[in-house]
Amino acid sequence: MKKSKFVNEGGIQGAGTGFVDTNSPDWKAFLGVIHQHSQDRSKDERTDTKLKDIRFRMGSYLRNEASPLSNYIPSLLSECIEALEIKKKDFAAYIGIEDSNLSAMLKGRRRISPEFALKLEQIFDISATLWLSVQSKNELDLLRKSKSLLGPTLSRKELLARAI
């Protein structure tokens, strides 16, 4: 009896050229297993998963040269609060800030301070450095996109030529 070799053409172990038939019974059964597994998890486990997803997306944003997302930090902060399934006013009261200050952050009118980032780190287990890095990258990318705010182009050669 001849053994057959498993071939995974273009799938997980392949070159990524395969496809998934999302209408197949196997795929629907797979989704059912995932759905059932997620339903079997506790509320805390589901919250942890949501927060890990947010942390992963923040890291991916920093690693990639993605276009600036002008409302990225506010939307991430909002997602984190929603993951806890609490009211925003309760969140603001717990961390000791005014509702209006939290509202300004969630609307992108106010930056996250290092002190606030440390509070977010304690609550959401997403490092303060990551919060501030995502915010800084986004602000720098937006500035690069609108170079008119930066003034004239600067160069080392021109600086050295003028210094002589």
Q: Give the model confidence (pLDDT) of 79-111 as tens digits.
A: 999 999 999 999 999 999 999 999 999 998 999
Task: Give the pLDDT of residue 68.
Answer: 62
Residue 77 in contact with residue 105, Cβ under 8 Å? yes
Radius of gyration of the chain (CA): 23
Average pLDDT of the residues of the chain: 84
Q: What pLDDT band is residue 141 in, cutting at 50, 70 and 90?
A: confident
> What gap in Å lies between CA 17 and CA 37, rounded to an integer?
29
Please, which residues have CB within 8 angstroms of residue 105's CB and are 6 or more apart in sequence? 73, 74, 77, 111, 112, 116
Task: Give the pLDDT of residue 103.
Answer: 95
Reported as half-sphere exposure (CB side, CA atoms, 13 A), residue 70 has a value of: 7
Q: For the chain, what are the domain ranges?
A: 42-142
* Top-confidence residue, 20 or 154: 154
pLDDT at 2 over 60: no
Second-level CATH architecture of 42-142: Orthogonal Bundle (1.10)
* Top-confidence residue, 115 or 6: 115
pLDDT at 145 over 70: yes
Full-model pTM: 0.69
Q: What is the pLDDT of residues 44-66, one digit of tens each?
A: 988 998 999 899 989 888 888 66
Cα dist from 60 to 23, 55, 64, 103, 137, whole Å: 30, 9, 6, 26, 12
Q: What is the pLDDT of residues 8-41, one digit of tens each?
A: 555 555 555 566 677 888 888 887 888 787 777 8
Chain centroid offset of residue 47 CA: 15
What phi and psi values does residue 58 have, to the nearest 5 degrees?
Answer: -65, -45
